[in-house]
Each structure stands twice: as C-alpha cells, then as structure tokens.
A and B are shown apart, each in its own frame.
Chain A
Amino acid sequence: AQSVAQPEDQVNVAEGNPLTVKCTYSVSGNPYLFWYVQYPNRGLQFLLKYITGDNLVKGSYGFEAEFNKSQTSFHLKKPSALVSDSALYFCAVGGFSGGYNKLIFGAGTRLAVHP
C-alpha cells in the first residue's frame, strides 16, 4: 500500500538554528513529492515539490528539500529557523502507480521554533 511517514510528531528548534523535518515514503513507480505548511485555523499552503531533475529543491520562505531515492526520503530543511516558521508541516506524495490523480499526505509534524 502507498504510504507517507513523518516519524516526528513535533520538532523543537531554537531560532537561528537549522531545522529538519523528516519524511519517508513507500509508493510504487516514480513519485512526485510535496511539502505543505498549515498555520493555525488556515488551509494548507504549498511550499515546494519534487517532480524530476535536481535532487535539491528550493521553495518558499527559504525552505528546501532533498530527494533521496535510495532512502525513499524527502526531508524538509532550512538553514536558520524563524519563530514565524512555527506551524504544522505536511509531506505528500503523488503520481504513483494506480493513483495518478491522488495525493497521499503524511500525518504532519508540528514545528515549534523558540526565541
């Protein structure tokens, strides 16, 4: 079965430190991978995606993610965290065999950046 795992419910980081939010996936075929962010009482906002090409993808607000096919991972990173980055982050996968028009989301990771 197709699945996406975000192994950490919460990540705590001090402001100014680098942050990583982890995502691994298990799908057949060559997946498309996405990161979304959700601020309190809001809908999701697109951050970045990997379709093909360079394994390092840069997105909005200084975030980037690295696609690692051998480890089936797509971790979200930022070199220097801001308090305003505190939010709920979702990894999603699409384009898999038998589910071309569907996205599967991970359970989400809450990022807390402390001053």
Chain B
Amino acid sequence: NAGVTQTPKFQVLKTGQSMTLQCAQDMNHEYMSWYRQDPGMGLRLIHYSVGAGITDQGEVPNGYNVSRSTTEDFPLRLLSAAPSQTSVYFCASSYRALDLGTSGRDTQYFGPGTRLTVL
C-alpha cells in the first residue's frame, strides 16, 4: 500500500490564483480530512469527510472547498488564494472517524504534506 499520498510537495501561488491540492489513499478508509499547520498553532482542521459524497466543515473552512466523489480521493481547492493561506497542508485518513476502530485498524494516517506559499 502507498498509504496517504499528497501532490504537489511544494507550490508557490500568486494572490488570487486557484489550485487544487490532491490527496489519495489506498487503504479503503472511510474518513479523510485536511489540516493546515502553522507555527505555534498546531494543526487545525479545515474540512473532513466520513465517506464518499459526505463532507463537513472543520475549524477553519473559509477559503477552501472539498468534495469526495470516490472513497480514495479527497481534493482540497483554493478558489482565490490569499497570503493568509500560506501554510503546510496535511491530508489524513482513518478506517473510521476518530480512530475508534479496533483490531489494529485504529490509527489515523497522515500524508507527507504540501508546503504552500501565497505571494
């Protein structure tokens, strides 16, 4: 299994540009989520999904859109990038929400991250 993959690893955007951060997992996980990591603030949840066709907002959803058309993919869209969106973005997945599973399937797997700079 490749686990959780994210592309691109690095991206530089100009203010107002749009882009999509890709996230995919090959573990047949129901739950997927996007976080942003900023210095001194830990990880903050942007959006999450508990299954294909179902998404919901996290702590900091403004400026971001998501969709979940398949179990495997959970792209994050920035419609009009702003400097405040400069951050490291992590995608994560787990068999079920909040690692409540048993028998060794109970962990949340994180992707390697995408470092985004908005000028």
A108 touches B42 (CB 8 A): yes
From B12-20, B67-75, B78-86, B95-103, the one touching the partner chain is B95-103
List chain B residues, Cβ under 8 A from A43.
4, 90, 92, 110-113
Count residues on chain A whose CB falls below 8 Å from chain B CBs. Answer: 27
Query: Interface code A87-115, partner B: CB below 8 Å = 1, 0 otherwise?
Result: 00010101100001111111110000000
Looking at chain B, what size class is its interface with the partner chain? 20 to 34
A102 touches B48 (CB 8 A): yes
Q: CA A100 – CA B55 in complex, angstroms?
A: 14
B100 touches A90 (CB 8 A): no
List chain B residues, Cβ under 8 A from A95.
98, 100
A102 touches B45 (CB 8 A): yes
> Known: A42-B112, A43-B111, A43-B113. Is A100-B40 also a contact (CB below 8 A)?
no
B110 touches which of A32, A44, A94, A104 (Cβ 8 Å): A44
Give the 4 A-B residue pairs with the shortest CB-CB distance, closest first.
A43-B110, A105-B42, A46-B107, A105-B43
Interface residues of A (CB under 8 A from B): 4, 6, 9, 32, 34, 36, 41-46, 49, 51, 90, 92, 94-95, 100-108
